[in-house]
Structure 1
Protein backbone atom coordinates (compact mmCIF):
# COMPACT_ATOMS: atom_id res chain seq x y z
CA UNK A 1 0.00 0.00 0.00
CA UNK A 2 1.08 3.55 -0.72
CA UNK A 3 -0.45 6.84 0.22
CA UNK A 4 0.45 10.49 0.44
CA UNK A 5 0.60 12.30 3.77
CA UNK A 6 0.88 15.71 2.13
CA UNK A 7 -1.60 18.41 3.10
CA UNK A 8 -4.48 18.22 0.64
CA UNK A 9 -7.78 20.06 0.13
CA UNK A 10 -10.52 19.17 2.60
CA UNK A 11 -12.57 16.13 1.59
CA UNK A 12 -16.36 16.25 1.53
CA UNK A 13 -17.35 13.15 -0.44
CA UNK A 14 -16.22 9.70 -1.54
CA UNK A 15 -17.37 8.35 -4.92
CA UNK A 16 -17.20 4.61 -5.46
CA UNK A 17 -17.16 2.78 -8.74
CA UNK A 18 -19.23 -0.38 -8.35
CA UNK A 19 -17.92 -3.47 -10.19
CA UNK A 20 -14.51 -4.55 -8.92
CA UNK A 21 -14.53 -1.68 -6.42
CA UNK A 22 -17.53 -2.22 -4.15
CA UNK A 23 -18.09 -5.84 -5.20
CA UNK A 24 -15.80 -8.61 -6.41
CA UNK A 25 -17.75 -9.07 -9.65
CA UNK A 26 -15.22 -8.82 -12.47
CA UNK A 27 -14.64 -12.60 -12.89
CA UNK A 28 -18.39 -13.06 -13.32
CA UNK A 29 -18.50 -10.21 -15.82
CA UNK A 30 -15.75 -11.92 -17.80
CA UNK A 31 -17.66 -15.22 -17.73
CA UNK A 32 -20.84 -13.50 -18.89
CA UNK A 33 -19.00 -11.80 -21.76
CA UNK A 34 -17.65 -15.19 -22.81
CA UNK A 35 -21.10 -16.78 -22.71
CA UNK A 36 -22.75 -13.85 -24.48
CA UNK A 37 -20.13 -13.82 -27.24
CA UNK A 38 -20.54 -17.57 -27.77
CA UNK A 39 -24.30 -17.12 -28.14
CA UNK A 40 -23.63 -14.65 -30.93
CA UNK A 41 -20.95 -16.75 -32.64
CA UNK A 42 -18.13 -14.43 -31.69
CA UNK A 43 -14.61 -15.47 -30.74
CA UNK A 44 -13.06 -12.96 -28.36
CA UNK A 45 -9.73 -12.19 -26.73
CA UNK A 46 -11.05 -11.81 -23.19
CA UNK A 47 -8.19 -9.75 -21.67
CA UNK A 48 -8.33 -7.39 -24.65
CA UNK A 49 -12.10 -7.04 -24.46
CA UNK A 50 -11.99 -6.33 -20.73
CA UNK A 51 -9.25 -3.74 -21.32
CA UNK A 52 -11.39 -2.01 -23.95
CA UNK A 53 -14.71 -2.13 -22.12
CA UNK A 54 -14.19 -1.92 -18.35
CA UNK A 55 -15.60 1.44 -17.30
CA UNK A 56 -17.47 2.06 -20.57
CA UNK A 57 -21.25 2.27 -20.61
CA UNK A 58 -23.33 -0.59 -21.99
CA UNK A 59 -23.89 0.82 -25.47
CA UNK A 60 -20.19 1.60 -25.81
CA UNK A 61 -19.33 -1.96 -24.73
CA UNK A 62 -21.56 -3.50 -27.38
CA UNK A 63 -20.04 -1.37 -30.10
CA UNK A 64 -16.61 -2.48 -28.94
CA UNK A 65 -17.63 -6.15 -28.89
CA UNK A 66 -19.23 -6.18 -32.35
CA UNK A 67 -16.77 -3.64 -33.74
CA UNK A 68 -19.44 -1.69 -35.59
CA UNK A 69 -21.74 1.23 -35.17
CA UNK A 70 -25.20 0.28 -33.93
CA UNK A 71 -28.27 2.24 -32.88
CA UNK A 72 -28.70 2.91 -29.18
CA UNK A 73 -31.84 0.77 -28.91
CA UNK A 74 -30.05 -2.26 -30.38
CA UNK A 75 -27.00 -1.72 -28.17
CA UNK A 76 -29.03 -1.39 -24.96
CA UNK A 77 -31.14 -4.44 -25.80
CA UNK A 78 -27.99 -6.50 -26.29
CA UNK A 79 -26.32 -5.31 -23.10
CA UNK A 80 -29.49 -6.10 -21.13
CA UNK A 81 -29.15 -9.72 -22.29
CA UNK A 82 -25.49 -9.82 -21.34
CA UNK A 83 -26.11 -8.32 -17.92
CA UNK A 84 -28.85 -10.84 -17.16
CA UNK A 85 -26.24 -13.54 -17.71
CA UNK A 86 -23.89 -11.71 -15.35
CA UNK A 87 -26.45 -11.46 -12.58
CA UNK A 88 -27.32 -15.15 -12.92
CA UNK A 89 -23.63 -16.02 -12.55
CA UNK A 90 -22.71 -13.62 -9.76
CA UNK A 91 -25.88 -13.73 -7.67
CA UNK A 92 -25.17 -17.13 -6.05
CA UNK A 93 -21.59 -16.13 -5.19
CA UNK A 94 -22.16 -12.42 -4.50
CA UNK A 95 -19.19 -10.98 -2.59
CA UNK A 96 -18.18 -7.49 -1.61
CA UNK A 97 -14.62 -6.29 -1.93
CA UNK A 98 -13.38 -7.05 1.58
CA UNK A 99 -14.26 -4.37 4.09
CA UNK A 100 -16.34 -2.16 1.78
CA UNK A 101 -19.49 -1.92 3.90
CA UNK A 102 -17.58 -1.22 7.09
CA UNK A 103 -15.38 1.36 5.38
CA UNK A 104 -18.33 3.20 3.83
CA UNK A 105 -20.13 3.31 7.16
CA UNK A 106 -17.02 4.69 8.85
CA UNK A 107 -16.85 7.36 6.15
CA UNK A 108 -20.45 8.36 6.83
CA UNK A 109 -19.72 8.48 10.56
CA UNK A 110 -16.94 11.00 9.87
CA UNK A 111 -19.43 13.26 8.08
CA UNK A 112 -18.43 12.37 4.54
CA UNK A 113 -20.96 12.01 1.78
CA UNK A 114 -20.89 8.70 -0.11
CA UNK A 115 -21.83 8.35 -3.77
CA UNK A 116 -21.72 5.71 -6.49
CA UNK A 117 -20.50 6.47 -9.99
CA UNK A 118 -20.70 3.40 -12.20
CA UNK A 119 -20.97 2.50 -15.86
CA UNK A 120 -23.37 -0.23 -14.76
CA UNK A 121 -27.05 0.14 -15.62
CA UNK A 122 -29.98 0.58 -13.26
CA UNK A 123 -30.76 -3.15 -13.16
CA UNK A 124 -27.22 -3.95 -12.06
CA UNK A 125 -27.24 -1.12 -9.53
CA UNK A 126 -30.51 -2.39 -8.02
CA UNK A 127 -29.10 -5.93 -7.98
CA UNK A 128 -25.96 -4.82 -6.12
CA UNK A 129 -27.73 -2.63 -3.59
CA UNK A 130 -30.31 -5.32 -2.83
CA UNK A 131 -27.51 -7.82 -2.10
CA UNK A 132 -25.27 -5.44 -0.17
CA UNK A 133 -28.05 -4.19 2.10
CA UNK A 134 -26.14 -1.06 3.08
CA UNK A 135 -27.28 0.35 6.43
CA UNK A 136 -27.42 3.84 4.88
CA UNK A 137 -28.43 4.76 1.33
CA UNK A 138 -25.80 6.52 -0.82
CA UNK A 139 -26.18 10.28 -1.15
CA UNK A 140 -26.09 9.93 -4.95
CA UNK A 141 -26.07 7.12 -7.49
CA UNK A 142 -25.13 7.70 -11.14
CA UNK A 143 -25.39 4.88 -13.66
CA UNK A 144 -24.09 4.29 -17.14
CA UNK A 145 -27.53 4.23 -18.75
CA UNK A 146 -28.39 7.84 -17.91
CA UNK A 147 -27.13 9.27 -21.20
CA UNK A 148 -23.62 10.06 -19.99
CA UNK A 149 -20.44 8.89 -21.73
CA UNK A 150 -18.56 6.11 -19.98
CA UNK A 151 -15.10 6.30 -18.50
CA UNK A 152 -12.41 7.51 -19.17
CA UNK A 153 -14.68 10.52 -19.74
CA UNK A 154 -15.29 12.21 -16.36
CA UNK A 155 -19.03 12.81 -16.78
CA UNK A 156 -20.25 10.07 -14.42
CA UNK A 157 -18.05 11.24 -11.55
CA UNK A 158 -18.82 14.92 -12.17
CA UNK A 159 -22.55 14.18 -12.11
CA UNK A 160 -22.18 12.28 -8.83
CA UNK A 161 -20.39 15.27 -7.31
CA UNK A 162 -23.07 17.63 -8.65
CA UNK A 163 -25.85 15.55 -7.09
CA UNK A 164 -24.02 15.68 -3.77
CA UNK A 165 -23.49 19.45 -4.13
CA UNK A 166 -19.74 18.90 -3.81
CA UNK A 167 -16.88 20.36 -5.81
CA UNK A 168 -14.63 18.00 -7.73
CA UNK A 169 -11.51 18.84 -5.71
CA UNK A 170 -13.36 17.82 -2.52
CA UNK A 171 -14.09 14.31 -3.84
CA UNK A 172 -12.04 11.12 -3.70
CA UNK A 173 -12.85 8.43 -6.27
CA UNK A 174 -12.37 4.72 -5.53
CA UNK A 175 -11.66 2.74 -8.70
CA UNK A 176 -10.34 -0.61 -9.91
CA UNK A 177 -9.80 0.14 -13.61
CA UNK A 178 -7.38 2.28 -15.64
CA UNK A 179 -10.29 4.01 -17.40
CA UNK A 180 -11.80 4.86 -14.01
CA UNK A 181 -8.55 6.20 -12.60
CA UNK A 182 -8.16 8.35 -15.72
CA UNK A 183 -11.76 9.56 -15.43
CA UNK A 184 -11.04 10.72 -11.88
CA UNK A 185 -7.99 12.64 -13.10
CA UNK A 186 -9.99 14.31 -15.87
CA UNK A 187 -12.67 15.23 -13.34
CA UNK A 188 -10.09 16.96 -11.16
CA UNK A 189 -10.60 14.46 -8.36
CA UNK A 190 -8.18 12.48 -6.23
CA UNK A 191 -8.38 8.70 -6.35
CA UNK A 192 -7.74 5.49 -4.47
CA UNK A 193 -6.78 2.46 -6.54
CA UNK A 194 -8.55 -0.73 -5.51
CA UNK A 195 -6.26 -3.40 -6.95
CA UNK A 196 -8.80 -6.22 -7.20
CA UNK A 197 -8.25 -6.65 -10.95
CA UNK A 198 -5.19 -4.54 -11.81
CA UNK A 199 -1.76 -3.87 -10.37
CA UNK A 200 -0.79 -0.63 -8.63
CA UNK A 201 1.40 0.21 -11.63
CA UNK A 202 -1.59 -0.11 -13.97
CA UNK A 203 -3.59 2.24 -11.72
CA UNK A 204 -0.87 4.77 -11.00
CA UNK A 205 -1.16 8.53 -11.22
CA UNK A 206 -0.12 11.70 -9.46
CA UNK A 207 -3.70 12.05 -8.16
CA UNK A 208 -3.75 8.52 -6.67
CA UNK A 209 -3.51 8.72 -2.88
CA UNK A 210 -3.38 5.00 -2.14
CA UNK A 211 -3.15 1.62 -3.86
CA UNK A 212 -4.65 -1.26 -1.89
CA UNK A 213 -6.10 -4.73 -2.37
CA UNK A 214 -9.20 -4.00 -0.33
CA UNK A 215 -10.76 -1.73 2.28
CA UNK A 216 -9.32 -3.66 5.19
CA UNK A 217 -5.92 -2.34 4.13
CA UNK A 218 -7.27 1.20 4.10
CA UNK A 219 -8.79 0.80 7.54
CA UNK A 220 -5.62 -0.77 8.93
CA UNK A 221 -3.62 2.19 7.65
CA UNK A 222 -6.05 4.68 9.26
CA UNK A 223 -6.80 6.20 5.85
CA UNK A 224 -9.99 7.94 6.93
CA UNK A 225 -8.47 9.16 10.17
CA UNK A 226 -5.63 10.78 8.22
CA UNK A 227 -7.91 12.64 5.80
CA UNK A 228 -8.52 16.34 6.16
CA UNK A 229 -12.31 16.15 6.27
CA UNK A 230 -14.33 19.30 5.66
CA UNK A 231 -16.50 20.43 8.55
CA UNK A 232 -19.74 22.32 8.09
Structure 2
Protein backbone atom coordinates (compact mmCIF):
# COMPACT_ATOMS: atom_id res chain seq x y z
CA UNK A 1 0.00 0.00 0.00
CA UNK A 2 2.92 2.37 0.73
CA UNK A 3 5.36 0.71 -1.68
CA UNK A 4 5.75 3.95 -3.67
CA UNK A 5 7.76 5.46 -0.79
CA UNK A 6 11.40 4.79 0.06
CA UNK A 7 11.02 5.71 3.75
CA UNK A 8 8.19 5.58 6.29
CA UNK A 9 8.07 7.94 9.28
CA UNK A 10 5.69 7.47 12.19
CA UNK A 11 4.64 9.82 14.93
CA UNK A 12 4.46 7.82 18.15
CA UNK A 13 1.87 9.05 20.66
CA UNK A 14 -1.63 8.47 19.34
CA UNK A 15 -0.33 7.12 16.01
CA UNK A 16 1.44 3.81 16.71
CA UNK A 17 1.10 3.73 20.52
CA UNK A 18 -2.00 4.39 22.60
CA UNK A 19 -0.46 6.79 25.08
CA UNK A 20 -2.77 9.80 24.91
CA UNK A 21 -5.17 8.83 27.76
CA UNK A 22 -2.19 8.22 30.07
CA UNK A 23 -0.64 11.57 29.09
CA UNK A 24 -3.89 13.36 30.03
CA UNK A 25 -4.17 11.45 33.31
CA UNK A 26 -0.58 12.43 34.21
CA UNK A 27 -1.38 16.09 33.47
CA UNK A 28 -4.47 15.94 35.71
CA UNK A 29 -2.53 14.41 38.59
CA UNK A 30 0.43 16.81 38.38
CA UNK A 31 -1.74 19.92 37.97
CA UNK A 32 -4.01 18.90 40.86
CA UNK A 33 -1.02 19.31 43.18
CA UNK A 34 -1.06 23.01 42.27
CA UNK A 35 -4.85 23.39 42.31
CA UNK A 36 -4.84 23.70 38.52
CA UNK A 37 -6.84 22.07 35.72
CA UNK A 38 -6.71 22.17 31.92
CA UNK A 39 -9.01 22.18 28.95
CA UNK A 40 -8.67 18.72 27.38
CA UNK A 41 -9.74 19.98 23.94
CA UNK A 42 -7.03 22.65 24.01
CA UNK A 43 -4.41 20.08 25.07
CA UNK A 44 -5.46 17.67 22.30
CA UNK A 45 -4.93 20.56 19.87
CA UNK A 46 -1.31 20.72 21.10
CA UNK A 47 -0.62 17.03 20.43
CA UNK A 48 2.84 16.64 18.97
CA UNK A 49 4.23 19.61 20.90
CA UNK A 50 7.05 19.17 23.41
CA UNK A 51 5.87 18.73 27.00
CA UNK A 52 7.43 22.04 28.14
CA UNK A 53 5.41 23.90 25.48
CA UNK A 54 2.16 22.29 26.65
CA UNK A 55 3.14 23.23 30.22
CA UNK A 56 3.69 26.84 29.05
CA UNK A 57 0.19 26.97 27.55
CA UNK A 58 -1.42 25.49 30.67
CA UNK A 59 0.48 27.88 32.98
CA UNK A 60 -0.51 30.89 30.84
CA UNK A 61 -4.17 29.83 30.87
CA UNK A 62 -4.07 29.58 34.69
CA UNK A 63 -2.10 32.82 35.10
CA UNK A 64 0.41 30.93 37.21
CA UNK A 65 4.11 31.69 37.64
CA UNK A 66 5.23 28.03 37.69
CA UNK A 67 8.32 27.16 35.67
CA UNK A 68 7.10 25.30 32.55
CA UNK A 69 10.28 23.23 32.36
CA UNK A 70 9.94 22.07 35.96
CA UNK A 71 6.24 21.31 35.49
CA UNK A 72 7.09 19.35 32.32
CA UNK A 73 9.74 17.37 34.23
CA UNK A 74 7.22 16.51 36.96
CA UNK A 75 4.65 15.38 34.39
CA UNK A 76 7.22 13.30 32.48
CA UNK A 77 8.48 11.63 35.66
CA UNK A 78 4.93 10.69 36.66
CA UNK A 79 4.12 9.58 33.12
CA UNK A 80 7.08 7.20 33.09
CA UNK A 81 5.76 5.44 36.20
CA UNK A 82 2.30 5.03 34.61
CA UNK A 83 2.95 4.45 30.92
CA UNK A 84 4.91 1.22 30.98
CA UNK A 85 2.00 -0.48 32.74
CA UNK A 86 -0.66 0.75 30.33
CA UNK A 87 0.83 1.35 26.87
CA UNK A 88 -0.54 -0.70 23.97
CA UNK A 89 0.15 -0.55 20.24
CA UNK A 90 -2.53 0.94 17.98
CA UNK A 91 -3.77 -0.78 14.78
CA UNK A 92 -1.30 1.18 12.59
CA UNK A 93 1.48 -0.97 14.09
CA UNK A 94 0.46 -3.54 11.44
CA UNK A 95 1.92 -1.20 8.77
CA UNK A 96 5.16 -1.06 10.76
CA UNK A 97 5.28 -4.86 10.96
CA UNK A 98 4.45 -5.24 7.26
CA UNK A 99 7.33 -2.96 6.20
CA UNK A 100 9.97 -4.17 8.65
CA UNK A 101 13.06 -4.99 6.61
CA UNK A 102 11.39 -3.80 3.40
CA UNK A 103 11.77 -0.03 3.85
CA UNK A 104 13.73 2.19 6.23
CA UNK A 105 11.44 3.42 9.01
CA UNK A 106 11.74 6.09 11.69
CA UNK A 107 9.80 7.48 14.61
CA UNK A 108 9.52 11.28 14.77
CA UNK A 109 7.90 12.24 18.06
CA UNK A 110 7.23 15.19 20.34
CA UNK A 111 8.17 12.92 23.27
CA UNK A 112 11.69 12.80 24.64
CA UNK A 113 14.09 10.49 22.78
CA UNK A 114 14.66 8.29 25.86
CA UNK A 115 10.89 7.91 26.43
CA UNK A 116 10.35 6.82 22.81
CA UNK A 117 13.20 4.31 22.96
CA UNK A 118 11.98 2.97 26.32
CA UNK A 119 8.38 2.48 25.18
CA UNK A 120 9.30 0.89 21.86
CA UNK A 121 11.80 -1.41 23.59
CA UNK A 122 9.20 -2.32 26.25
CA UNK A 123 6.79 -3.42 23.48
CA UNK A 124 9.47 -5.25 21.47
CA UNK A 125 9.20 -2.78 18.59
CA UNK A 126 12.47 -0.85 18.80
CA UNK A 127 14.22 -3.11 16.27
CA UNK A 128 11.57 -2.22 13.66
CA UNK A 129 12.96 1.32 13.32
CA UNK A 130 16.18 2.61 11.78
CA UNK A 131 15.98 5.98 13.55
CA UNK A 132 14.25 7.67 16.48
CA UNK A 133 13.99 11.46 16.63
CA UNK A 134 12.55 12.94 19.82
CA UNK A 135 11.77 16.47 20.97
CA UNK A 136 15.22 16.76 22.54
CA UNK A 137 16.92 15.87 19.23
CA UNK A 138 15.81 19.02 17.36
CA UNK A 139 15.70 22.75 18.11
CA UNK A 140 12.44 23.50 16.28
CA UNK A 141 9.42 21.27 16.90
CA UNK A 142 6.26 20.41 15.01
CA UNK A 143 4.70 22.23 13.11
CA UNK A 144 8.25 23.03 11.95
CA UNK A 145 9.68 20.31 9.65
CA UNK A 146 12.90 19.62 11.59
CA UNK A 147 11.79 16.38 13.29
CA UNK A 148 10.81 14.71 10.03
CA UNK A 149 13.75 16.13 8.06
CA UNK A 150 16.10 14.64 10.67
CA UNK A 151 14.31 11.27 10.36
CA UNK A 152 14.81 11.31 6.57
CA UNK A 153 18.47 12.25 7.01
CA UNK A 154 19.10 9.44 9.50
CA UNK A 155 17.35 6.92 7.21
CA UNK A 156 19.32 8.19 4.20
CA UNK A 157 16.13 8.85 2.23
CA UNK A 158 15.33 12.12 0.40
CA UNK A 159 12.39 13.91 2.11
CA UNK A 160 10.28 13.82 -1.06
CA UNK A 161 10.51 10.00 -1.01
CA UNK A 162 9.09 9.74 2.55
CA UNK A 163 5.57 9.40 3.89
CA UNK A 164 4.64 10.50 7.42
CA UNK A 165 1.90 8.90 9.54
CA UNK A 166 0.43 11.43 12.00
CA UNK A 167 -2.55 11.97 14.28
CA UNK A 168 -2.13 15.70 14.98
CA UNK A 169 -2.55 18.88 12.95
CA UNK A 170 0.93 20.13 13.97
CA UNK A 171 2.44 16.89 12.66
CA UNK A 172 0.57 17.04 9.35
CA UNK A 173 1.80 20.64 8.93
CA UNK A 174 5.36 19.57 9.77
CA UNK A 175 5.27 16.74 7.21
CA UNK A 176 4.03 19.07 4.48
CA UNK A 177 6.63 21.70 5.42
CA UNK A 178 9.28 18.97 5.05
CA UNK A 179 8.04 18.25 1.51
CA UNK A 180 6.69 14.84 2.49
CA UNK A 181 3.34 13.19 1.92
CA UNK A 182 1.26 12.75 5.08
CA UNK A 183 -1.29 10.17 6.13
CA UNK A 184 -3.73 11.52 8.71
CA UNK A 185 -4.37 8.38 10.76
CA UNK A 186 -7.48 9.97 12.25
CA UNK A 187 -9.09 9.42 8.84
CA UNK A 188 -8.12 5.73 8.49
Counterparts in 2 of 1:135-214, with a 5 A limit?
136-195=127-186, 211-212=187-188
Residue equivalent to 2:58: 65
Shift of 1:10: 4.2
CA-based RMSD of the aligned residues comes to: 2.6
The alignment partner of 1:172 has SS state of: strand
The alignment partner of 2:177 has SS state of: helix
- Is the helix fraction higher in 1 or 2? 2
- Any stretches of 5+ residues in structure 2 without a counterpart? none
Q: Give runs of ≥4 in structure 1 deviating > 6 Å.
A: none
Asked whether 1:104 is paired with 2:121, we answer no
- Any stretches of 5+ residues in structure 1 without a counterpart? 196-210, 213-232
Residue equivalent to 2:107: 116
Change (3 A) 1:123 1:140: closer
Change (3 A) 1:143 1:19: same
Asked whether 1:85 is paired with 2:75, we answer no
Hey, what's the Cα distance between the residues in 2 that align with 1:107 and 1:9? 9
Conserved in 2, the CA contact under 8 Å of 1:56 and 1:149?
A: no
Under a length normalisation based on structure 1, what TM-score does the superposition of the two structures give?
0.72
Conserved in 1, the CA contact under 8 Å of 2:138 and 2:146?
A: no
Conserved in 2, the CA contact under 8 Å of 1:121 and 1:144?
A: yes
120-129 or 10-19, larger mean C-alpha shift: 120-129
